[in-house]
Chains A and B, each alone.
Chain A
Amino acid sequence: MSLKSKLHNFKEKHRSKKWLPAFSAIHTFLFMPNETTHGGTHIKAADDLKRTMNIVIMAMIPCLIFGMFNAGYQHHLAFGEIQAVSQGFFSPEFWTMENFLVGFWKIIPLVIVSYGVGLGIEFIFAIIKGHEVEEGYLVTGMLVPLIVPVDTPLWMLAVAVVFGVVIGKEVFGGTGMNILNPALTIRAFLFFAYPTWMSGDKVWVHGAVERANEIASGANLDAVSGETILGSLAQGLQHDYSISEMFLGFIPGSVGETSAILILLGGLFLIFTKIGSWRIMLSSVLGAIAMGLIFNSVVDAGIITEGSKFYGLMSTVWWHHLIIGGFAFGTVFMATDPVTASQTNKGKWIYGFLVGFISIMIRVFNPAYPEGVMLAILLMNVFAPTIDHYVVRGNVKKRMKRLKVKTA
């Protein structure tokens, strides 16, 4: 008897046990279930929920690997141990083993905590409710480590994951029923609960917080800071990152959000595999461009001058907004979440456009936290069903009219 049929028999034998969902979650993850439907006509398709999730994770892997190198690179750069990159994407200063190891040991624990805690809750809820474990957390668990600062304490991440999965998803009925994107709920919880760990100029570079604590306790050391570009701009300061550095991702920021080019590749991959909606990505970029142009023209018209606290971000060239901060990452991987985004095609255009538009608006007008993508997507998540409702109503109305013309 093969292992596969042994496992199947084991499952049949313990069918009534309470812990069975936990077993079959692992079982179906490794093997296709033996229980297939019989009779009738079925559409045969390879892309079930698990495969969909796996493709999204594959699209994020380059960002994760780059994030590991970047975490080490920012750490060594801030401590003055290496030179800044000089030769584009394949600079030898960047792709070193030292950089990778520093990032690896910082980021792998984040991934493990995120998956361990999140899947643990999924298992507990599946056992209590007596349904199969749903795969919804696979993508969330990978998104979470990519959208937090590298020096986030692990316990903090665990608390946030518990909150995000239970309050953001399970109370609504689990995977597919949630109103808000769970990964962003987790991020929002972290931001509102522990703002000092989610913003400022220390958390983005590994070791900066530790160095600040040492200085506070009397050590005679140089302070290390790693202000994000958005942070500098919001304070009206200049930053000295070149366009190519911003585009390629050699800048401080959350783990996976810095490299616009890898996110772009991931986005193209999602569009090519038809997992992500190109309508949402495109309209979101259009929305951001529209808002950026409005702000630029406000500055050009002289309404906002250098003295204003909004000048720094308002005068940022409109297309720079697309490659700094978390905008690209949010647009490609978060706004396109099929559960929380609009479902109708026309609704997707409206939803995406408003995500981009509001992102840049919050970014400029919220100096305390110069990143609006998270809040903009959460806001539009709430409105997505309303948008869909009116799109569907409009369609029904149009068809009713056509029907009347025909019958009359």
Chain B
Amino acid sequence: MALLSKKDSKLILDPLTDNNPITIQVLGICSALAITAELNASIVMAISVLFVLGLGNVVISLMRNIIPSKIRIIVQLVVVATLVIIVDQVLKAFAYELSKTLSVFVGLIITNCIIMGRFEAFALGNGPWRSFLDGVGNAAGYGIILVIVGFFRELLGSGTLLGFKVLGDPIEKTGIYAIGYENNGFMLLSPMALIVVGIIIWVQRTRNKALVEDH
């Protein structure tokens, strides 16, 4: 990549695969379970976190030398809260239906462990450009998993994708059988999100044995 040095591009690419915040660090699981029943909710959530984490990392990085370390958590919270409120207001203004679906979980981005984790672990010790890349990378890693989970849950749970019918309803009933797709209600319940994330973790660690933890 000509645009980014090798070290910088690693900041973006690592969280997408071998250092994924959800499947490797197992952070930010709560929202991955709560809002992935529909694909569009997952996408909006991913974009919101991308905005908050990318910008938040830059802001924290710019202030890193003037924040007294004793109150740094409070400062970080103020930064996240500000950004999250902006996201929340924008969603309410331009996508009211979606913001109702996401309900409290937009506000709960504040408590998303990935965000505080990146502020603490990266933005406090690195320059704004690198922090921005790190934020974008981690948010994208989080978003990818959200979209994958949302894709399977909406497809198998409701037979739709982004609200469009993909798998047909059962038709031509003969006895107890019918041609078509019978929606799997379990996919819409939160436990199934956990299981889908678990399967992604399983597949990832089977492909790359180096990721398997010793115990």
Contact = CB atoms under 8 A, between A and B. Distances in A.
A194 B176 contact: no
A193 B186 contact: yes
A43 B215 CA distance: 34
A152 B176 CA distance: 8
Interface in A207-221: 209-210, 213, 217
Given A167-B195, A171-B202, A210 B176 contact: yes
B186 A192 contact: yes
Contacts of B176: 151-153, 209-210
B68 interface: no
Contacts of A151: 176
Given A167-B195, A171-B202, A192-B189, A213 B184 contact: no
A116 interface: no
Given A167-B195, A171-B202, A210 B186 contact: no
A151 B185 CA distance: 19
Nearest to A191: B186
B6 interface: no
Contacts of B52: none
B120 interface: no
Contacts of B177: 153, 155
Contact of A195 (B185, B187, B195, B202): B185
A193 B195 contact: no
Interface in A173-229: 189, 192-195, 209-210, 213, 217
B175 to A, nearest CB: 5
Interface residues of A, number: 17
A281 B139 CA distance: 52
A194 B189 CA distance: 12
B7 interface: no
Contacts of B184: 159, 193-194
Nearest to B199: A167
B200 to A, nearest CB: 13
Contact of B185 (A171, A193, A210): A193
Interface in A137-151: 151
Contacts of B186: 189, 192-193
Given A171-B202, A194-B182, A213 B189 contact: no
A151 B173 CA distance: 14
A192 B185 contact: yes
B105 to A, nearest CB: 22
A364 to B, nearest CB: 23
Contacts of B182: 156, 194
A153 B189 CA distance: 22
Contacts of B185: 192-195
Contact of A210 (B175, B187, B202): B175
Given A167-B195, A171-B202, A193 B173 contact: no
Interface string B136-179: 00000000000000000000000000000000000001011100
Contacts of A194: 182, 184-185
A193 B175 contact: no
A190 B202 CA distance: 23
A210 B186 CA distance: 24
Contacts of B175: 209-210, 213
A192 B185 CA distance: 6
Contacts of A152: 176
Contacts of A189: 186
Contacts of A193: 184-187
A397 B184 CA distance: 49
B173 A213 contact: yes
A314 B184 CA distance: 32
Contacts of B187: 193
B122 to A, nearest CB: 33
A167 B197 CA distance: 12
A152 B198 CA distance: 28
In this complex, the member of B185, B195, B202 whose beta carbon has the largest number of chain A beta carbons within 10 angstroms is B185
Interface string B81-96: 0000000000000000
Nearest to A167: B195
A210 B177 CA distance: 9
Interface of A: 151-153, 155-156, 159, 167, 171, 189, 192-195, 209-210, 213, 217
The 9 closest A-B pairs by CB, nearest first: A193-B186, A192-B186, A193-B184, A213-B173, A210-B175, A151-B176, A153-B176, A209-B176, A193-B185
23 contacts: A151-B176, A152-B176, A153-B177, A155-B177, A156-B182, A159-B184, A167-B195, A167-B198, A171-B198, A171-B202, A189-B186, A192-B185, A192-B186, A192-B189, A193-B184, A193-B186, A193-B187, A209-B175, A209-B176, A210-B175, A210-B176, A213-B175, A217-B173
